Amino acid sequence: MFDIGFTELSLVALVALVVIGPERLPGVARTLGHLFGRLQRYVSDVKSDISREIELDELRKFKNQFEEAAESVQQSVRGEMADAEAAISELAAEMESADPASELASATESFSDESDTKTGDGDHAAMLTSEPTAPVQEGESAVRAEAVSDGASRAGLGHNSTP
């Protein structure tokens, strides 16, 4: 702080002794000590206030960065949710527009049209949707049921039987 050596300090003490006098010198020294202590406390308080303000400023910056990152994550999640909701609503619209009864009828008609052109009779579609009426031996029953379910799934009829 001040560049005061021993010689300068002893010179100041000698001048103070001559000017103030030996009776009042201890009281003046005590008062100067109290004032110097107050000055040190004041400087210490100012330093701590400045360091607190610097820390608060750093914390505010960190808080702002954290809030910005959280906001960007929140916006990206909202965007992804909107995309997912749009895809779900699109699929729901497709499901509503697709009428299962009309698809079954059109698949049956297209299959029977193909069968009529190849074999000449239209009873194949009826065979796919109904059970066999004639008595069949045990080994032939499993083969016929598998063929019927296989033909129905190829025609898009949606049979869910397992072989």
Give 111-132 pLDDT, tens digit per residue: 666 555 555 444 544 555 555 5
pLDDT value of position 32: 92
pLDDT of residue 98: 75
Q: Are 140 and 119 in contact (CB under 8 A)?
A: no
CA distances from 139 to 130, 135, 162 (A): 19, 12, 17
pLDDT digits (tens, 9 = 90+) for 4-15: 888 998 998 889
Distance between CA 21 and CA 26 in Å, rounded? Answer: 10
Its pTM stands at 0.39
Between residues 106 and 7, the one the model is more confident about: 7
Is residue 24 scored above 60 in pLDDT? Answer: yes
Domain-by-domain residue ranges, the chain?
20-95, 100-154
